[in-house]
C-alpha cells in the first residue's frame, strides 16, 4: 500500500505530460488538419518527433504547441521528410521541408510536375530561357566530388504544358539569407540545402497559378523563412515593404540593368508583355 501511495504521488514524466497535452489538443488539431490526415496519425508522428529530439522538451512549451498547430494547418507531418520541429534558441519553429512544400504545390491541382534542386560547382548545368524555359542539370559520377554549392533552381510544368523556371545564384540566395532572422544559426546553418531550395521555390511560387484557398500558403506560415522588417520609409502607406521584398526587387533590378548594358538594341521596342515574368540568362553564367 505504501509503495502504491508513493507511485501515486510521483509526478508524471515530461513526455507523459506532453502526451496528455497533445491528447487534449486533438479537437483543435482535428479542425486544423485536412481530411486526408487523421488526428491520431498526426499526434503520433508529432510525439515521435519530440521523443527523437528531447531538447524540444526544454523549449518554450507555447512555441512548441504553436509550431505543431501550424504544421497541422498545412497538413504536413513533422516526420523529418514533410516537415520538422526545429529548436531555435528556447523557441520551437515549424519547418516545412522541401518535400512538404512540393507536396502542397502538387495538391493545388494546377501543377503536373515541380522540382527544386541545389546546383554544385562540379555539376553540368545549363539554363535555357525563352518561351519554353528549361534546364539541363547532371551531377558528376557518384565517386566524384560535387564541390561547393553555387546556386539553386526550381522548375514547374503546368497542366497546360507550360514550363516555368527560376534560378538563383549563391549570391542571390545569401542576400535572402542575410535578411532572415535565423541567418547565423538554426535552419540556415543546419539545413542550408533545404532553405536554399525553399527560397528559390518561394520565388517560383509567385508565378504559379493561385490556389482557390488563399489561406493555404505554406510559405507564409513557415517560421524559418521569417525575415527582418525593413526600416520605415515612404513607399506606400497601405503596402509596407519587407526587407525580403526589397532584396528580391533589388535582384530583379540588377538583372534588368545587366540586360540593358549587354544588349540595349535587343530591348528597343519591346513591351512588358514581351517579357512577362521571364528573366535574362545571366544566372546561367553565374551557375556554370
pLDDT tens, position by position, 152-162: 999 999 988 88
pLDDT at residue 28 tops 50: yes
- According to the per-residue pLDDT averaged within each range, which of 22-26, 178-182, 213-217, 246-250 is highest? 22-26
What the block records as the C-alpha cell of 216 is: 493555404
More confident call, 247 vs 85: 85
pLDDT at residue 283 tops 60: no
pLDDT at residue 62 tops 50: yes
Name the CA radius of gyration of the chain, rounded. 23
pLDDT of residue 276: 40
pLDDT of residue 131: 79
CA-CA distance, 59 to 75, in Å (whole number)? Answer: 23
pLDDT of residue 281: 39
- Domain map (residue ranges) of the chain: 12-95, 100-263+270-287
pLDDT at residue 173 tops 90: yes
More confident call, 244 vs 106: 106
Query: Average of pLDDT values for 174-183?
Result: 86
What the block records as the C-alpha cell of 18 is: 506532453
- The answer to whether the CB of 129 falls within 8 A of the CB of 278 is yes
CA-CA distance, 270 to 88, in Å (whole number)? Answer: 48
Q: Are strands 111-120 and 91-96 parallel, antiparallel or unpaired?
A: unpaired
pLDDT of residue 48: 94
pLDDT of residue 18: 87
Amino acid at each position: 500500500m505504501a509503495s502504491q501511495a508513493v507511485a501515486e504521488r510521483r509526478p508524471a514524466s515530461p513526455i507523459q505530460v506532453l502526451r496528455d497535452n497533445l491528447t487534449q489538443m486533438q479537437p483543435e488539431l482535428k479542425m486544423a488538419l485536412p481530411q486526408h490526415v487523421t488526428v491520431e496519425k498526426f499526434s503520433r508522428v508529432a510525439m515521435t518527433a519530440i521523443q527523437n529530439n528531447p531538447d524540444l522538451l526544454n523549449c518554450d512549451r507555447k512555441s512548441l504547441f504553436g509550431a505543431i498547430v501550424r504544421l497541422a494547418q498545412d497538413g504536413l507531418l513533422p516526420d523529418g521528410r514533410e516537415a520538422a520541429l526545429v529548436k531555435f534558441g528556447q523557441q520551437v519553429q515549424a519547418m516545412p521541408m522541401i518535400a512538404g512544400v512540393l507536396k502542397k504545390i502538387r495538391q493545388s491541382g494546377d501543377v503536373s510536375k515541380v522540382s527544386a534542386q541545389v546546383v554544385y560547382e562540379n555539376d553540368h548545368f545549363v539554363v535555357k530561357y525563352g518561351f519554353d524555359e528549361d534546364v539541363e542539370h547532371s551531377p558528376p559520377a557518384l565517386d566524384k566530388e560535387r564541390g561547393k554549392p553555387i546556386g539553386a533552381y526550381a522548375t514547374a510544368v503546368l497542366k497546360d504544358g507550360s514550363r516555368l523556371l527560376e534560378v538563383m545564384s549563391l549570391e542571390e540566395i545569401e542576400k535572402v539569407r542575410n535578411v532572415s532572422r535565423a541567418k547565423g544559426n538554426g535552419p540556415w546553418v543546419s539545413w542550408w540545402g533545404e532553405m536554399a531550395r525553399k527560397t528559390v521555390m518561394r520565388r517560383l511560387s509567385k508565378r504559379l497559378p493561385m490556389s482557390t484557398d488563399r489561406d493555404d500558403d505554406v510559405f507564409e506560415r513557415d517560421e524559418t523563412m521569417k525575415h527582418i522588417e525593413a526600416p520605415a520609409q515612404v513607399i506606400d502607406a497601405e503596402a509596407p515593404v519587407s526587407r525580403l521584398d526589397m532584396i528580391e526587387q533589388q535582384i530583379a533590378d540588377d538583372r534588368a540593368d545587366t540586360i540593358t548594358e549587354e544588349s540595349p538594341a535587343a530591348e528597343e521596342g519591346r513591351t512588358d508583355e514581351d517579357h512577362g515574368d521571364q528573366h535574362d540568362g545571366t544566372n546561367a553564367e553565374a551557375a556554370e
